[in-house]
Structure 1
Amino acid sequence: MDSSWPLHILNLLYELATLGLTTVGLAVVFGLLGVMNMAHGEFVMLGAYAVVTVQSWGWPLITAMPLALLVCGGVGWVVERWLIRPLYARPFDTLLATWALAILLRKLVEAVYGRDYRNIESNLAIPIEFLTVQYPVYRLFLLALAAVLMIGLALWYRRSSMGLRVRAMTGNPTLAQALGINTTRLASQTFIVGVMLAGASGVLLAPLVRIEPGIGVDYLLDSFFVLVVGGLGTLGGFGGGVSIIGGTQSVLSSLIDQTSGYAVVLILSILFLWLKPNGLFGRN
């Protein structure tokens, strides 16, 4: 047996973890509210540039997380209140509006930071001995964090009072309003949580990727593929989509090349849109 198999497994789990982290924000917004936020990748980008900002200020990297949450939360509140809320009943219009927002955010970042690539200087890539192989400690941290996040999300959705209200709102908005649930405020809170999760994932991945204004496009496409295959509005759909898309792309990229892996994922997503538009575990 190949002695490097633990490394292959860890790399696969890392790909799944990063895909889960970058997709969870869109899963909340698109899966629960039905809003296809085309600026999702740009909120990931804002989180990454929060790390660039605090490093340029000489602050500890950990301070990038509250900065990203504050910026993404504030922008998300403004966007939901003045852009998304009037368009909730018009999904195609929300898609166009958030696509324009994505372009605007990208151009604003270009104006402030330029178009050059940025790399985060840190010692987070230090490897340690794990399962008989050397593996970066920060990647192991992301694996553990992704597992904790998925468990926390499941508990929040199934056990918390807000999760109960969200399920009621998505299941039957009219009945939820009749029961006294403020669906307008709840939708706003859900949207803000979704974009803050996107920003947080950008902070977490910033030390591992090259940062530039266009990085959000790839994250948006991968997240969309996950939700198409897995289905909207269920935890099983989210987990299934991450596993299928992340696993397929990772395995084919390692066996053939990255372009082939991406092409197969694209074809797979098109087939699901055609043959099974609700995904594997999505709500009907």
Structure 2
Amino acid sequence: MTTILAAAFDIGAFVSIMVLIVLGLGLVASLMGIFNFAHGELVLLGACTVYVVHRAGLPVWLGIVLAPFVVGACGLAIERLVVRRFYTEPIPAMLATYALGLAIRESVRYAIGGTYLSVPAPIGGALTVGELHISAWNVLLIAVTIVICTLCWWFLKRTQYGLLIRAALENPGLASASGISTRVLYAATFTLAASMAGLAGAVIVPVYSLSADLGVRFLIQGFVAIMTGGLGTFAGPLVGAGAVGTASAGLPWFVSPILADVLVFVLAIAFVKARPGGVFASRGR
């Protein structure tokens, strides 16, 4: 039982990371109709922000707080300079963001080399309950993710800006004809998604060592999660992140990690084949 509970917390921490990544990725895909292939590199930039702050001798907490703002500013620049030119052209948008992500990733690789850099968790040690020892950072990560999901739900369901986002999701053409500035909405949404990616990278780096390829794995799994959960709803990407994250973190307890990754993709492909719209099929475009 102790082993099962320990595994459950490890899986929960990984699922939390997936949720933070998929929230922003799914919002951009649902609202703007494009997949941001630079999202993984935005996660990487969040991790780099924490590392730079730590190397400067400042508290890791400060880096975690700064990361969403720094990466959000980068996201706004990307949207204004690149993405806004391809709103009606999803394929060129994907190619452009892929090229941009590649440039960011290789720039980080040039700066840090092929090394793996570590950042200490701001909260160390473990919580002990009987014979059960749980990483304090994992517990905090799960709690923070729950709070962020709750705030995002409230934001989308209970605020004026959330109403505008939902209107644009349901019918972009009608929303634009009704006087809603979709370009401003898209810029703000892309910036918010980038900020969430930055936060995800900031909380990942104490768990996973910083390397230039840090965001690649999570980007691929994020896309699988979105396709599994479905676009156009708040719950869809979250359910997809939960399913893919649980499988990705849980299967290595029973099979080799490589085989676990293969099984996750096979199961996801089979599910999407059987249900192309995902768990929650979009009612939008």
TM-score interval for Structure 1 and Structure 2 normalised by the shorter chain? over 0.9
Q: Name the CA distance, whole Å, in 1 between partners of 2:122 and 2:34.
A: 38
Is the CA contact 1:231–1:282 (under 8 Å) kept in the aligned structure 2? yes
After TM superposition, the score normalised by the length of structure 2 is 0.94
Q: Name the CA distance, whole Å, in 2 between partners of 1:41 and 1:86.
A: 21
Superposition deviation, residue 66 in structure 1: 4.2
Which deviates the most, 67-76 or 164-173? 67-76
Runs of 4+ residues deviating >4 angstroms? none
Superposition deviation, residue 132 in structure 1: 4.7
- Partner of residue 173, structure 2: 174
Superposition deviation, residue 7 in structure 1: 1.4
Amino acid at match of 1:208: V
Q: Name the CA distance, whole Å, in 2 between partners of 1:3 and 1:121.
A: 26
Which deviates the most, 33-42 or 130-139? 130-139
Amino acid at match of 1:240: V
Amino acid at match of 2:149: M
- Partner of residue 193, structure 1: 192
Superposition deviation, residue 135 in structure 1: 1.0
Which deviates the most, 107-116 or 75-84? 107-116
Which deviates the most, 38-47 or 131-140? 131-140
Give the number of aligned pairs.
283
- Partner of residue 228, structure 2: 229
Closer/same/farther in 2, CA of residues 197 and 122 from structure 1, 3 Å limit: closer
* Counterpart secondary structure, 1:145: helix
- Partner of residue 203, structure 2: 204
Amino acid at match of 2:155: W
Closer/same/farther in 2, CA of residues 276 and 192 from structure 1, 3 Å limit: same
Q: Name the CA distance, whole Å, in 2 between partners of 1:151 and 1:67.
A: 21
- Partner of residue 160, structure 1: 159
Closer/same/farther in 2, CA of residues 266 and 215 from structure 1, 3 Å limit: same
Q: Does 1:46 align with 2:79?
A: no
Is the CA contact 2:105–2:213 (under 8 Å) kept in the aligned structure 1? yes
Amino acid at match of 2:275: K
- Partner of residue 109, structure 2: 110
Closer/same/farther in 2, CA of residues 175 and 3 from structure 1, 3 Å limit: closer
Superposition deviation, residue 251 in structure 1: 2.4
- Partner of residue 87, structure 2: 88
CA offset digits 1:69-99 (Å, max 9, x no partner): 3331222112111211111111111110010
CA offset digits 1:35-70 (Å, max 9, x no partner): 200011100000111111011111111221343233
* Counterpart secondary structure, 1:51: helix
Superposition deviation, residue 109 in structure 1: 1.3
Amino acid at match of 1:145: V
Q: Name the CA distance, whole Å, in 2 between partners of 1:250 and 1:187.
A: 33
* Counterpart secondary structure, 2:82: helix
Closer/same/farther in 2, CA of residues 225 and 88 from structure 1, 3 Å limit: same
- Partner of residue 239, structure 1: 238
- Partner of residue 69, structure 2: 70
Q: Name the CA distance, whole Å, in 2 between partners of 1:162 and 1:244.
A: 29
Closer/same/farther in 2, CA of residues 123 and 70 from structure 1, 3 Å limit: closer
The alignment yields a C-alpha RMSD, in angstroms, of 1.6
Amino acid at match of 2:107: L
Q: What are structure 1's unaligned runs of at least 5 residues?
A: none
Superposition deviation, residue 126 in structure 1: 0.6
Q: Does 1:215 align with 2:181?
A: no
CA offset digits 1:217-266 (Å, max 9, x no partner): 10101101110100012122122212221222222111112112211111
- Partner of residue 138, structure 2: 139
- Partner of residue 78, structure 2: 79
Q: Name the CA distance, whole Å, in 2 between partners of 1:48 and 1:282.
A: 33
Which deviates the most, 144-153 or 174-183? 174-183
Which deviates the most, 183-192 or 8-17? 8-17
After TM superposition, the score normalised by the length of structure 1 is 0.94
* Counterpart secondary structure, 2:37: coil
Is the CA contact 1:228–1:272 (under 8 Å) kept in the aligned structure 2? no
